[in-house]
Amino acid sequence: MILNISGRTYIVNYYSDWLFKRFEEGYVLSRNSLFPNSVRRYELTPDKIDCIVFGSKNYAPVLTRIEEITTKFNTYFYYTITAYGKDVEPNVPDIDTSIETLLKLSEIVGSQRIAWRYDPVLLTKDYTIARHFETFQYIANRLSGHIDRCIFSFVEMYKKHETNFPELIPLTAENTIDLARGLGKISAKQGIILQTCGPEDNYARFGIESSGCVTLDILGKANNLQFRNLKHKGFRKGCHCIESRDLGALNSCPNGCKYCYANTNTQLPCENYKLHNPESPLLIGELKPTDNLQAGSQKSFLICENKINP
């Protein structure tokens, strides 16, 4: 099983005490986002988890304790650092602070286990194509040699962005080609593997690899693991990621990023955050008498017995 922490919310940023508590107790409960009364229990032990993938925009809260997990489990880290300021990402550290945190994380876990995410790529009157190239060049120069690869995607236009992010300028086909060409050129000069995420066009002509952020190939090479040859079904059209179990909950991230896909509105995350109990096995709220609690499926994707390579 691949454990995802998390594509739905930033557990590392806001729920780190809960996270380490769950690993101390050796299990976690996860509520189904579509069927709220359905709850699954997952064992947080090396024999049940092939690899843990982390996703966050700030790893500072876990730097001093992350080895409690990395010395026992195979891991891979996705660290998002973009060009945006507080006007778009109000609760994300500034670029230089984020870079310094990533470099510290790289020292702890190794560069082969970190992917820099530069996404979503979007345009406003302030965040122009030229500004993206300037910022991407700066970050790439600082991170070269300290990461496994860079992953980018273009913003997906949702109806709620009309209200939450009215200054967003829809990307044209010409915009995406210009951006892909420029990002590919910068990455090549810095010796950084660049790939897309999600349903993007094929930009191989710009030296950009195809979609697939969380693949068995990436996780296997980073941790010296041999996985079975399995089909990567992805999470949506155009996605080539391997299936995973996500411990997060929708509408629970207080980051307030204006382009957020996981939050329905700005109020729900604040309301749900108040329901969080660090002692509860559930991220948000408590287990209810009416809940249907069952053991979650934890099938291994490995060819042989799980091997930990901290």
- What is the C-alpha to C-alpha distance for residues 112 and 58, in angstroms, rounded to an integer? 19
Token reading at 67: 């080895």
Q: What is residue 306's predicted lDDT score, i.e. its pLDDT?
A: 47
Residue entry with tokens 């590392």: 12
pLDDT greater at residue 229 or residue 109: 109
Residue entry with tokens 């949702």: 158
Assign 102 to helix, strand or coil. Answer: helix
Please give the distance of CA 30 from its chain centroid, rounded to a whole number.
18
Judged against a pLDDT cut of 90, whether residue 230 lies above it is answered with no
The conformational region for residue 224 under phi > 0 = left, psi -120 to 50 = alpha, else beta, is left
DSSP assignment, residue 8? S
- What is the C-alpha to C-alpha distance for residues 96 and 117, in angstroms, rounded to an integer? 15
pLDDT in tens, 139-174: 999 999 999 999 999 998 877 777 789 999 999 999
120 Cβ contact partners less than 8 Å away, ≥ 6 residues apart: 153, 154, 155, 156, 259
Q: What is residue 272's predicted lDDT score, i.e. its pLDDT?
A: 94
Q: What is residue 261's predicted lDDT score, i.e. its pLDDT?
A: 84
Judged against a pLDDT cut of 80, whether residue 200 lies above it is answered with no
Sign of CA dihedral 242, 248, 249, 253: negative
Q: What is the mean pLDDT of the chain?
A: 93
If one counts every other C-beta atom within 10 angstroms of the C-beta of residue 188, the result is 14
The residue-averaged pLDDT of 108-127 equals: 97
Q: What is residue 265's predicted lDDT score, i.e. its pLDDT?
A: 81
Judged against a pLDDT cut of 60, whether residue 307 lies above it is answered with no
Judged against a pLDDT cut of 90, whether residue 133 lies above it is answered with yes
Judged against a pLDDT cut of 90, whether residue 56 lies above it is answered with yes
- What is the C-alpha to C-alpha distance for residues 102 and 63, in angstroms, rounded to an integer? 10
Judged against a pLDDT cut of 60, whether residue 310 lies above it is answered with no
Q: Taking a C-beta distance cutoff of 8 angstroms, is the pair 27, 41 a contact?
A: yes
Judged against a pLDDT cut of 90, whether residue 234 lies above it is answered with no
Q: What percent of the chain has pLDDT over 70?
A: 95
Q: Could you tell me the residue ranges of all domains in the chain?
A: 2-295
**CA nearest 105: which of 67, 50, 140, 137?**
67
Q: Taking a C-beta distance cutoff of 8 angstroms, is the pair 251, 270 a contact?
A: no
Q: What is residue 206's predicted lDDT score, i.e. its pLDDT?
A: 96
Q: What percent of the chain has pLDDT over 90?
A: 82
Sign of CA dihedral 208, 209, 212, 214: negative
pLDDT in tens, 8-27: 999 999 999 999 999 999 99
Judged against a pLDDT cut of 90, whether residue 87 lies above it is answered with yes
The pLDDT confidence band at residue 236, using thresholds 50, 70 and 90, is low
Judged against a pLDDT cut of 60, whether residue 65 lies above it is answered with yes
185 Cβ contact partners less than 8 Å away, ≥ 6 residues apart: 206, 207
- What is the C-alpha to C-alpha distance for residues 10 and 252, in angstroms, rounded to an integer? 8
Of 113-117, 196-200, 204-208, 245-249, give the lowest mean pLDDT range: 196-200
Radius of gyration, alpha carbons of the chain:
19
Q: What is residue 308's predicted lDDT score, i.e. its pLDDT?
A: 54
Q: Taking a C-beta distance cutoff of 8 angstroms, is the pair 10, 56 a contact?
A: yes
DSSP assignment, residue 219? H
Token reading at 97: 């602070």
- What is the C-alpha to C-alpha distance for residues 104 and 109, in angstroms, rounded to an integer? 9
The residue-averaged pLDDT of 203-209 equals: 94
Judged against a pLDDT cut of 90, whether residue 242 lies above it is answered with no
Residue entry with tokens 């780190």: 16
- What is the C-alpha to C-alpha distance for residues 187 and 5, in angstroms, rounded to an integer? 27
Q: What is residue 141's predicted lDDT score, i.e. its pLDDT?
A: 98
The pLDDT confidence band at residue 266, using thresholds 50, 70 and 90, is confident
Token reading at 98: 């984020």
